[in-house]
Amino acid sequence: MVSYEFHYFEAASRGDLPRMLLEVGGASYQNVFVDYAQWPELKKTTAFGLIPKLVIVESGGARKELFETSAINLYLADIFGLLPGDGPFERAETQSVLSSFYDLEGKLFDQTFFLPTLGQRKTAHEKMIVETIPAFLKYQERFVRGQYYFGDKLTVADLKLYSTYLWYRDMHGARNPFETHAAELPKLNRIIAILAKGKAGDYAQYRRDFGRFFWVAEEWTWTFV
């Protein structure tokens, strides 16, 4: 039986969707937590100077390592049947949805988290909440083609949506754009409600928060404790 190790910090962040895929896929896996203080040294030993890292442990004991979040997500989606179809177009179309979310995350990181002053971070986040994220979500709403993103089948695209919702809920609470623009996003919120009642929701409620990584609203930033 194949098992997995997921190497990352004690945080959701870039580890959220891979862990959710492992949970929904019913995989045998363990979290191998990376100590933030030791990361500078460990960084030198990784393929691209980055984590997360997924280790695939074959039944015979052979081990394979996979880096880069986007590659890990697509690999696990393929393994657990969470792609809309088997062909190259279906795979590429799924990747297009995921890539759009990665682009939004890139904007969030580049334009908000690393600004030097509280005032700058607050202004940038307010723009994200009021303008950037709602506009992005309206395009996602238009894309949805049924009960889920790709009709009647649950896919990694739906799980990415749910993990994004959780991320904004963590940061903004009742100001989460999924909540404040709920009337404009019925399809997206329907998917979120369905997933919240299943394995993804069980993971979100019981195995997502490791008690080390917190959003500090007064500072508009994340911190490890």
Measured between alpha carbons, how far is residue 97 from residues 62, 83, 93, 155 in Å? 33, 12, 7, 11
What pLDDT is stored for residue 27 in this prediction?
A: 98
Longest CA–CA span in the chain (Å) reads 55
Q: Give the residue ranges of the chain where pLDDT is below 50.
A: none
Could you give the residue range(s) of every CATH 1.20.1050.10 domain in the chain? 88-204
Q: Is 65 helix (H, G, I), strand (E, B) or coil?
A: strand
Q: Is 27 helix (H, G, I), strand (E, B) or coil?
A: coil
What pLDDT is stored for residue 224 in this prediction?
A: 86
pTM value surpassing 0.95: yes
Pick the CATH number of 88-204 from 1.20.1050.10, 3.40.50.300, 3.10.640.10, 1.10.3720.10: 1.20.1050.10
- Rg of the chain, C-alpha, whole Å: 18
E strand or H helix that includes residue 32:
strand 29-33
Domain 3-79 superfamily per CATH? Glutaredoxin (3.40.30.10)
What pLDDT is stored for residue 164 in this prediction?
A: 98
Record the tokens describing residue 177, joined without a space. Answer: 């754009």
